[in-house]
Chains A and B, each alone.
Chain A
Amino acid sequence: MYNFDFVKPATVDEALAALAEEDALPLSGGQTLIPAMKQRLNAPSRLVSLLGIDALKGVCPGEGGVTIGGATAHAVVAREAAAVYPALAALAGGIGDPAVRNRGTIGGSLANNDPAACYPAAVLASGAVIVTDRREIAADSFFQGMFTTDLEEGEIITAVKFPIPEAAHYLKFEQPASRFALTGVVVAKFAEGVRVAVTGASEDGVFRWSEAEAALSDSFRPEALEGLSVPAEGMISDLHGSGAYRAHLVKVLTGRAVQAC
């Protein structure tokens, strides 16, 4: 690790000011950034911790949905969202291990947009809205490929607004070593239709499986997926599974998630 400055502001405005310095980076749990810094793969001049900003923390159920502060730890979501959005709480409770869940935050995860992370699938399947210090971004336009989002330089995720689906379920098929999602699927059923989001599988990061959404909106049963298939092209192929395997898993997991709803 190289030397860096560390600040922990108490408000979003202070954080934005601190981030104005060249090579400053926000720190919202640090479950990816800190290991990278320890490996000397990232060298920010300043870390601006968002964990001291109370306004960014908490799980707030509201009309038709739940709003989760950007700096809310996974373990808090797992505990406090359980009554209002159980599938989301279960997803949060299955990220990493207890140490990760008590440090990592939803905003940090979404801003990083790891192609195998869990939260992006929940946000995309829920049709959630990402609230930042300067605007609101619909999930469908937030994720723009592996480790890429619509966020501007220095923009901070302050909250995520989740509508509550009638039924939802997340199934993560774990990569054996990292236990990130080798492939993970969130199925969310709303009155206006079903949304299916897939993480871990595509070279473009999290994506919606629109054919399945159409079929399931028509008939919310696993059998509705018969005849559908996901093309292997564009799927991640690595030590742990081929593109064809991941494409197969998308269908299997979607069916099982529907079954579990």
Chain B
Amino acid sequence: MPKDGIGASTKRREDIRFLTGRGRYTDDINLPHQAHVHFLRADVAHARINGIDTAMAAGMPGVIRIFTAADFAGVGGLPCGWQVTDREGQPMQEPKHPVLAEGKIRHVGEIVAAVVAETLEQARDAAEAIALDLEDLPAVIDMKAACEAGAVKVHDDLSSNLCYSWGFVEDNREAVDQAIAEAAHVTTLELVNNRLVANPMEPRVALGDYAFHDDSSTLYTTSQNPHVIRLLMGAFVLGIPEHKLRVVAPDVGGGFGTKIFHYAEEAFVTFAAKELKQPVKWTSTRSEAFISDAHGRDHVTKVELALDADNNFTALRCLTYANMGAYLSTFAPSVPTWLHGTLLAGNYRTPLIYTNVRAVFTNTVPVDAYRGAGRPEATFQLERVVDKAARELGVDPAELRRQNFIRKDQFPYATPVAVEYDTGDYEATLDTCLGLADYAGFAARAEASRARGKLRGIGLSHYIEACGIAPSNLVGQLGARAGLYESATVRVNATGGIVVMTGSHSHGQGHETSFPQVVADMIGIDASQVEIVHGDTANTPMGMGTYGSRSIAVGGSAMVRATEKIIAKAKKIAGHMLEASDEDIELKEGRFTVAGTDKSLAWGDVTLAAYVPHNYPLDQIEPGLEETAFYDPANFTYPSGCYICEVEVDPGTGKVEVCSFTAADDFGNIINPMIVEGQVQGGIGQGIGQALLEHCRYDADGQLLSASYMDYAMPRASDVPNIAVDHSCQTPCTHNPLGVKGCGEAGAIGSPPAVVNAVIDALERAGKPVAHIDMPLSPARVWAAMNS
């Protein structure tokens, strides 16, 4: 293995600049003559806009121009990238999502007017002088109430607040009903998957620029997918052709899904810069982030699991209300449907599954993908209901799972919810995790806790996720309005160094380290000879960006395909130079050798020849050494794993402490084990946050109660234990060239049910059995459950 090749825990080269404060983030970019925009945001959830008087504000010092919806009359709405078809075969209801509020305010935080001024303070001062004439309307907040006949409508032009009612698999519905009616045992659970705010460390920033000399626009933005923003904003919102529009996402300080979407602020600064012929910048405050970044989760679900007399799962039936918020964010409709319903088989052989998902408009911030996106919600309900069934039946939760697992000799396995798992070995991850967590030794630890006055519990979950998103032809049939391939251009320089221009985007994942490991390994050179370029539509091929644990599986595969083309061409050059057939040329450890001889050339000899083609087969191949590949996956990848959590509950206060957390994941092949471990730990940290701390709460009037860190509890280092991460169970993906599955979301998907199951276990062992507690399991909620 070459130094820093596949499988090496190479330290992250990008961390030097991140950890020494020398990253180049969007907010670090300042352009000459730059103006600043302050957005006047709605402080009520629902109101009719009868008038906006900007006259006084427009005359204030430094004000360049004030924009309202009237200025955007010729501009499109923010597009939705996925159309879901409902149970009746009709397309979802899709309201216009204006850049600035049009006619009505539909959530606290919506942009009502935008003040562009020479300084930010001047813009803020002027915004305070804008007079709004608003007619307050009742807010629609509760999803079930929103679905009742006669409910106030968020969008007057829609028939109701129901975006769609989706049935999946509709043909299974009657059989599922029948199986549940005939089951020996049915376990029922009603639960809430709590609404979250992603809170990446770097808030969103957008800087628009316009170049008069060539009539081109540039947007610098905090995005996970600059090409997607260029396409959506250029084609659907502003009508700027892609060759006149450049989108740059430089260093981005965390995304977690919330920086996938195309936001109004991006369209605004690009539009305003062109209107004003000067750069316009917006930097979100943390307070703005709470009321303008897309939120995550927010499902209300009833799930029923049917079992036969031998404890085999026979059917699963789910009903979910999924909050869309006031408008459809870019990928919002896909999250509770195709990223959720398709995962309801989990790791199990459940033969019959039906889910009905009702997506609902409310007067709240739009809800979209957040780390895991639909898969955490599926995993949570499934792993909670399986755990509840085990308790009701008096069997070990681990063994009930084992009994119902898809066995390793059953792959490829077609589930009843339209996906085919290519590979897996669930007993291996279960047994590895049980061993690492010392499941058998729990009783002694529980006794030690009891002696200290604490209630100890152990909980496990076994998850599956569909990653490596996604086969374009399949998602096209399912309503996606985009392809989900990935791209890479591999440019070999004359002196042998390599630049890889990838459509993937790194915002903390470490691509600048792990991607070179792959290319270096294939060629047999040092990883330091490979540089990754990403995040700028001007110098990378059209790519779909980073989310859905897709970058190594899809972007990495594109890079492999491009590198294969490079190697094939380089062998032809080497064959010519060595006077041998290119079929006889072997590339090993950076040298081209004629098989069976000692005739060889160094990598650099051949790359130089490609650009100085004096002795070169010009009649057969072109000079140069640069190749591009687009890779479209044949299937999703299916990472899976087992998580075990141990908690102590303080019976006096209800406070939960996570004592230990153990993860055994199957990610297939692994490029950089250290980065994988970090990804899993970070995901579990977020999962513990969801399970115990984080909760985005609105009051009945649509005011966000948890609108700052004073009330929205983020997990801190002291809330997260040392996490044992094992990835020795590896069943490589069968359909991509690296055999990789992706690891970015697993921790956030698999951990919340393990934490909740552990708390439920602790209370049951203490003689205070509780069927369920909704997340977050705050001290007050646990105490209330114990004392109800």
A binds B: yes
CB distance from A14 to the nearest CB of B (A): 30
CB distance from A180 to the nearest CB of B (A): 8
Please, which residues of chain A bring their CB within 8 A of the CB of B121?
1
CB distance from A174 to the nearest CB of B (A): 9
Contact of A252 with B652 in the complex, beta carbons under 8 Å: yes
Q: How many residues of A contact B (CB 8 A)?
A: 17
Contact of A176 with B709 in the complex, beta carbons under 8 Å: no
With CB as the reference atom, state the residue of chain A lying closest to B714: A177
Is A193 interfacial (CB-CB < 8 Å)? no
Is B783 interfacial (CB-CB < 8 Å)? yes
Contact of B711 with A242 in the complex, beta carbons under 8 Å: no
Please, which residues of chain A bring their CB within 8 A of the CB of B693?
176-177
The answer for the CA separation of A240 and B652 in the assembled complex, in Å, is: 16
The answer for the CA separation of A241 and B653 in the assembled complex, in Å, is: 11
Is B444 interfacial (CB-CB < 8 Å)? no
CB distance from A173 to the nearest CB of B (A): 6
Contact of A240 with B780 in the complex, beta carbons under 8 Å: yes
Please, what's the 1-or-0 string for A230-256, where 1 marks a CB less than 8 Å from any CB in chain B?
000000000111100100110010001
A176 with B778: in contact, given A239-B711, A245-B784 (CB under 8 Å)? yes
Contact of A240 with B653 in the complex, beta carbons under 8 Å: no
Please, which residues of chain B bring their CB within 8 A of the CB of A39?
287
Q: Choose among B287, B706, B780 the residue that contacts A241 (Cβ–Cβ < 8 A).
A: B780
Contact of B783 with A245 in the complex, beta carbons under 8 Å: yes
Please, which residues of chain B bring their CB within 8 A of the CB of A249?
653
Task: Give residues of chain A (145-182) contacting chain B, Cβ–Cβ below 8 Å.
Answer: 173, 176-178, 182
Please, what's the 1-or-0 string for B112-128, where 1 marks a CB less than 8 Å from any CB in chain A?
00000000010010000
Please, which residues of chain B bring their CB within 8 A of the CB of A178?
709-711
* CB < 8 Å A-B pair total: 46
Is A40 interfacial (CB-CB < 8 Å)? yes
With CB as the reference atom, state the residue of chain B lying closest to A178: B710
Contact of A176 with B653 in the complex, beta carbons under 8 Å: no
CB distance from B238 to the nearest CB of A (A): 32
Q: How large is the interface on B (under 10, 10 to 19, 20 to 34, 35 or more residues)?
A: 20 to 34
The answer for the CA separation of A40 and B285 in the assembled complex, in Å, is: 13
Contact of B695 with A239 in the complex, beta carbons under 8 Å: yes
Contact of A248 with B783 in the complex, beta carbons under 8 Å: yes
CB distance from A185 to the nearest CB of B (A): 12
CB distance from B720 to the nearest CB of A (A): 14
Contact of A241 with B779 in the complex, beta carbons under 8 Å: yes
The answer for the CA separation of A135 and B64 in the assembled complex, in Å, is: 54
Is B475 interfacial (CB-CB < 8 Å)? no
Please, what's the 1-or-0 string for B128-147, where 1 marks a CB less than 8 Å from any CB in chain A?
00000000000000000000
Contact of A40 with B124 in the complex, beta carbons under 8 Å: yes
A242 with B653: in contact, given A177-B709, A178-B709 (CB under 8 Å)? no
Residue among A40, A182, A239, A248 with the highest chain B CB neighbour number at 10 A: A239
Contact of B710 with A256 in the complex, beta carbons under 8 Å: no
Contact of A177 with B711 in the complex, beta carbons under 8 Å: yes
Residue among A40, A176, A245, A252 with the highest chain B CB neighbour number at 10 A: A176
A176 with B779: in contact, given A39-B287, A245-B784, A249-B653 (CB under 8 Å)? yes
Q: Choose among A173, A239, A256 the residue that contacts B706 (Cβ–Cβ < 8 A).
A: A239
Please, which residues of chain A bring their CB within 8 A of the CB of B783?
245, 248
A245 with B780: in contact, given A173-B653, A176-B693, A239-B695 (CB under 8 Å)? yes
Is B532 interfacial (CB-CB < 8 Å)? no
With CB as the reference atom, state the residue of chain A lying closest to B699: A239
CB distance from A102 to the nearest CB of B (A): 19
Is B302 interfacial (CB-CB < 8 Å)? no
Is B482 interfacial (CB-CB < 8 Å)? no
Please, which residues of chain B bring their CB within 8 A of the CB of A176?
692-693, 713, 778-779
A256 with B713: in contact, given A239-B705, A240-B780 (CB under 8 Å)? no
CB distance from A112 to the nearest CB of B (A): 15
The answer for the CA separation of A173 and B652 in the assembled complex, in Å, is: 11
Is B697 interfacial (CB-CB < 8 Å)? yes
Please, what's the 1-or-0 string for B634-659, where 1 marks a CB less than 8 Å from any CB in chain A?
00000000000000000011110000
A256 with B784: in contact, given A39-B287, A178-B709, A239-B706 (CB under 8 Å)? no
Is B712 interfacial (CB-CB < 8 Å)? yes
Please, what's the 1-or-0 string for B710-731, where 1 marks a CB less than 8 Å from any CB in chain A?
1111100000000000000000
Contact of B710 with A177 in the complex, beta carbons under 8 Å: yes
The answer for the CA separation of A1 and B124 in the assembled complex, in Å, is: 9
Please, what's the 1-or-0 string for A1-41, where 1 marks a CB less than 8 Å from any CB in chain B?
10000000000000000000000000000000000000110
The answer for the CA separation of A252 and B653 in the assembled complex, in Å, is: 8
The answer for the CA separation of A241 and B652 in the assembled complex, in Å, is: 14
A240 with B778: in contact, given A40-B124, A173-B653 (CB under 8 Å)? yes
CB distance from B149 to the nearest CB of A (A): 32
CB distance from A96 to the nearest CB of B (A): 12
With CB as the reference atom, state the residue of chain B lying closest to A246: B780
CB distance from A160 to the nearest CB of B (A): 26
The answer for the CA separation of A221 and B705 in the assembled complex, in Å, is: 40
With CB as the reference atom, state the residue of chain B lying closest to A183: B653
CB distance from B780 to the nearest CB of A (A): 4
CB distance from A158 to the nearest CB of B (A): 30
The answer for the CA separation of A241 and B711 in the assembled complex, in Å, is: 12
Please, which residues of chain B bring their CB within 8 A of the CB of A256?
652
The answer for the CA separation of A106 and B692 in the assembled complex, in Å, is: 33
The answer for the CA separation of A218 and B496 in the assembled complex, in Å, is: 86
The answer for the CA separation of A1 and B653 in the assembled complex, in Å, is: 40
Contact of B653 with A177 in the complex, beta carbons under 8 Å: no
With CB as the reference atom, state the residue of chain A lying closest to B711: A177
The answer for the CA separation of A110 and B235 in the assembled complex, in Å, is: 58
Please, what's the 1-or-0 string for B768-788, where 1 marks a CB less than 8 Å from any CB in chain A?
000000000011100110000
With CB as the reference atom, state the residue of chain B lying closest to A40: B124
Residue among B652, B693, B705 with the highest chain A CB neighbour number at 10 A: B652
The answer for the CA separation of A178 and B779 in the assembled complex, in Å, is: 14
CB distance from B709 to the nearest CB of A (A): 6
Please, which residues of chain B bring their CB within 8 A of the CB of A242?
780, 784
Please, which residues of chain A bring their CB within 8 A of the CB of B778?
176, 240-241
The answer for the CA separation of A242 and B788 in the assembled complex, in Å, is: 13
Task: Give residues of chain B (690-711) contacting chain A, Cβ–Cβ below 8 Å.
Answer: 692-693, 695, 697, 705-706, 709-711
Please, which residues of chain A bring their CB within 8 A of the CB of B697?
239
CB distance from B328 to the nearest CB of A (A): 28
Please, which residues of chain A bring their CB within 8 A of the CB of B705?
239
With CB as the reference atom, state the residue of chain B lying closest to A255: B652
Please, which residues of chain A bring their CB within 8 A of the CB of B714?
177
Residue among B287, B655, B783 with the highest chain A CB neighbour number at 10 A: B783
CB distance from B298 to the nearest CB of A (A): 16
Please, which residues of chain A bring their CB within 8 A of the CB of B692?
176
With CB as the reference atom, state the residue of chain B lying closest to A242: B780
Please, which residues of chain B bring their CB within 8 A of the CB of A173?
653, 655, 779
The answer for the CA separation of A39 and B290 in the assembled complex, in Å, is: 14
The answer for the CA separation of A234 and B709 in the assembled complex, in Å, is: 26
With CB as the reference atom, state the residue of chain B lying closest to A180: B710
CB distance from A100 to the nearest CB of B (A): 13
Please, which residues of chain A bring their CB within 8 A of the CB of B779?
173, 176, 182, 241, 245
CB distance from A163 to the nearest CB of B (A): 30
The answer for the CA separation of A17 and B653 in the assembled complex, in Å, is: 49
The answer for the CA separation of A248 and B655 in the assembled complex, in Å, is: 13
Please, which residues of chain A bring their CB within 8 A of the CB of B652?
252, 256
CB distance from B36 to the nearest CB of A (A): 15
Instruction: Jot down 18 A-B pairs with beta carbons below 8 A, ordered by A.
Output: A1-B121, A176-B692, A176-B693, A176-B713, A176-B778, A176-B779, A177-B706, A177-B714, A178-B711, A182-B779, A239-B705, A239-B711, A240-B778, A240-B780, A241-B780, A245-B654, A245-B780, A256-B652
Please provide the 8 A-B residue pairs with the shortest distance between their CB atoms, ordered closest to farther: A177-B713, A241-B780, A176-B713, A252-B652, A178-B710, A245-B780, A177-B711, A176-B693
Extra contacts besides A177-B706, A240-B711, A248-B783 (14): CB < 8 Å = A1-B121, A39-B287, A173-B653, A176-B713, A176-B778, A177-B693, A177-B709, A239-B706, A239-B711, A240-B778, A241-B779, A242-B780, A245-B784, A252-B653
Q: CB within 8 Å of A: which residues of B? A: 121, 124, 287, 652-655, 692-693, 695, 697, 705-706, 709-714, 778-780, 783-784
